Structure 1
Amino acid sequence: MAGIVLAAGLAISGAGHAAEDAGWRAAVEAFADQHFSHPAWGAAHSRRDYALARELAAQDKVAVDDDVLFAAAFLHDIAAFAPWENPDPKVDHSDVGADALGPVLVKLGFPAGKIEAVRAATRTHMYYRKAETPEAIYLHDADALDWLGAIGVARMLATIDPPAPVQDLKKAVAAIEANLADAPSGVQSPAGRARLPGMVAEARDFLARLKAESADGDAL
């Protein structure tokens, strides 16, 4: 895997955060809580991504910069929310978010020398993109896995909104099936790939039960 550096000990560099880091970390988390309210890709999703990314890196014994990982995990979906979103559907939200992050991170007191690394992780966080740095790879894999398993099903059901593309249960089921078909191949890390069979099976079992209880999906 390009960009991964094996570590003999802890997989998280700077595990004991200096007191001066507490300020910007609290500011980043508060910013996410204030601005990112959505049941599928809000602040709760960011917290899951951060925790899972750390866990996967630790399992692979890969060193990551926890400052970069923390900021990227909490801010990678910034372009899904006003006023940072781009109304042009042809522009990927990963790119819009990466471009918008600089001023936000500076205002929150994040270390200036690490901003480009956060941008890189944000730009490649989606499963259909190739991540390169350790922080980007583990955020990317955590984000992909969060679309699978029971949590992935719950997230997709939470996007049902009649005016939006996911208008009803049938469309949500189609989106869940699309994630199961597309997301697993994007997972890059050994620890991430090891989790795929169980999470895919979990979601497929739900879909099978749902279809059995809805005339093979016709009654949804």
Structure 2
Amino acid sequence: MPFQRDELVEYIRRAARPEDKYGHQPRLYSLACEVGRGLAFDDDVVYAAAWLHDLGVFVGHRPEDPALLAHWDHVAYTVDRVPGILIRAGFEATKIPAVLEVIRTHQPFDEPVTVEATIVRDADILEQLGSIGILRAVAKVGRDTRYPTFTSVRAVLEKAMKTLPSQLRLESSKRLAEGKVRTLQVFLESLAIEDQGSLY
């Protein structure tokens, strides 16, 4: 059976909770293709990793207990479950280790060693910048124990602006980041003017 991409899409459409988490996957794949333009990479590996990499952060897959959630390794959970999901979707078994390698090294502090992992990691960093980065961060206020207030999210956005662009590996990613960083900078400057010292 050939790789059924639609099966991954439908699986994530059902699994992505809260519902707004669904949009990250198609955007990430699209960004990864843009980042990787001109490079030789396995598109099936990038596609599978982009759609499945965050499985362990969805409600219903992660612990509900705040104490357990504080120490939750969503990557290990995801890596454990992805092979079965891919096999059911007709994914080539010999490529599964490559998908797992992308998922294992998709976070900013990771050190990707394959071109597919580098592409997806850079794209995932870009998703944390610009207007999308702002929306994704603000959506967590009050529903993620790490972000109880707007002030806590402002700190996340400030850190993203200062630290994430320098962690990008590919020149294409760095170019794409320029406008996103400017958007984030303007937002934070406007917020500093408007918050009257009482953002909370």
CA distance in 1, matches of 2:84, 2:69: 22
CA–CA separation in structure 2 for the residues paired with 1:184 and 1:38: 28
Match of 2:58 in 1: 81
Q: Is the 8 A contact 2:46 2:120 kept in 1?
A: yes
Taking the aligned partners of 2:185 and 2:191, their CA distance within structure 1 comes to: 10
Indicate yes or no: 2:7 matched with 1:27.
yes
* 3-state secondary structure, aligned to 2:169: coil
The CA distance in 1 between the partners of 2:61 and 2:90, in whole Å, is: 19
Deviation at 1:82, TM superposition (A): 4.9
Q: What is the TM-score normalised by the length of structure 2? A: 0.89
CA distance in 2, matches of 1:182, 1:34: 33
Q: Name the SS for the 1:64 alignment partner.
A: coil
Gaps of 5+ in 2: none
Give the Cα separation in 2 of the matches to 1:162 and 1:35.
18
Structure 1 residue 99, shift from structure 2 partner: 2.6
- The 2-side partners of 1:158 and 1:173 are apart by 12
Pair 1:26–1:163, CA change in 2 (3 A): closer
**CA offsets 1:95-142 (integer angstroms, 9 cap, x no match):** 332232112222232221111111000011111111111111111000
Identity across matched positions, percent? 29
Aligned-partner Cα distance in 1 for 2:46–2:127: 16
Q: Which residue of 2 aligns with 1:164?
A: 145
TM-score of the two chains, using structure 1 as the length reference: 0.82
Q: One-letter code of the match for 2:28? A: D
One-letter identity of the residue aligned with 1:77: D
Give the equivalent residue in structure 1 for 2:130: 149
Decide which structure has greater helix share.
Answer: 2
The amino acid that maps onto 1:35 is A
Structure 1 Cα separation of the partners of residues 189 and 19 of structure 2: 24
Which residue type is aligned with residue 164 of structure 2?
A
* Count of residue correspondences: 196
CA 1:91–1:186: 2 relative to 1, 3 Å = farther
The alpha-carbon deviation at position 68 of structure 1 amounts to 0.6
Deviates most, 192-201 or 69-78? 192-201
Out of 112, 132, 137, the residue aligned to residue 118 of structure 2 is 137
Query: Is residue 117 of structure 1 aligned with residue 98 of structure 2?
Result: yes
